[in-house]
Amino acid sequence: MAHISNSNLKDELKDTLIGDANYKNAANATNIDLVDSVYNTEVASLTFTSASRTQTFPALQVPASSIITEYGIIITSQSGRDNSTIGYRIGTTSGGEDLATTTTGGLQGGGTSIGAGTGSFSVAALTTAANGATSITATPGTIYRSAATNVFVQISASAGGFATGQASAYVTYVKL
C-alpha cells in the first residue's frame, strides 16, 4: 500500500461519505478523530535529480497539539558524489534548523558514495544499526507543537552534488 498523508487520508474518507449534511458532518468529525488518534508518522521521499549539494524533502505535516517523538533519515538507493561528508538540517522552514541540532557529517562522515540503508535517527540504536554517523538530537523546547507545523528535512554534502540515489525522511508524533 502506498503511503498517504494524514490530511490526504482525511480527504479520502470525507469523499466516501454518503448522506445528508448532518450525517456527513458527524461522520467526518469521527473520521478525523480516528485518523488523528492512530496516524502518527509522516513520511517523505525524494529522488536526487540534480547535482545539487543540498536535497530538500517535501514538508512533513505535524498537527496542532502534538509531541514530536522521533525523526529519521535513511538512504533507500545508493548515491554517488564527490568525496564529502553528508549532514542534515531539520526545521520549520525549508533549510531551517530550529527543530534539531544541525550536524555536518551527521549522516555520513565522508566518502564518495552512501549506501542504501545508511541512516540517522533520533533513536541511537537505529542510527547504529543503519551505520549512521550521529543520531538526530531535537533542539530543547521544540518537541511540543501547539500549532500545526510543517517539518522540513534537508540533507547536504560538504562538496560536490548528489549524482544519483533516493532517500526517505520521517517524523513521528503523538497527537494530544
Q: Any idea how long the chain is?
A: 176
Residue 15: per-residue pLDDT: 82
Residue 38: per-residue pLDDT: 65
Q: What is the dihedral of CA 167, 168, 169, 172, to 10 degrees?
A: -160
Q: How far apart are CA 83 and CA 158, in angstroms?
A: 9
pLDDT digits (tens, 9 = 90+) for 85-109: 999 999 999 999 999 988 888 999 8
Task: Say if residues 126 and 119 touch (Cβ distance below 8 Å).
Answer: yes
Residue whose C-alpha cell is 540534480: 50
**Cα dist from 65 to 22, 27, 42, 96, whole Å:** 27, 22, 16, 21
**153: which residues sit within 8 A by CB, 6+ positions away?**
44, 56, 57, 60, 71, 73, 88, 89, 90, 169, 171
How do beta strands 119-121 and 113-114 pair?
Answer: unpaired
Please tell me the pTM assigned to this model: 0.80
Under DSSP, the state recorded for 93 is: S
Query: Within 10 Å of residue 72's Cβ, how many Cβ atoms?
Result: 23
For the chain, residues with pLDDT lower than 70 are 1-6, 36-39
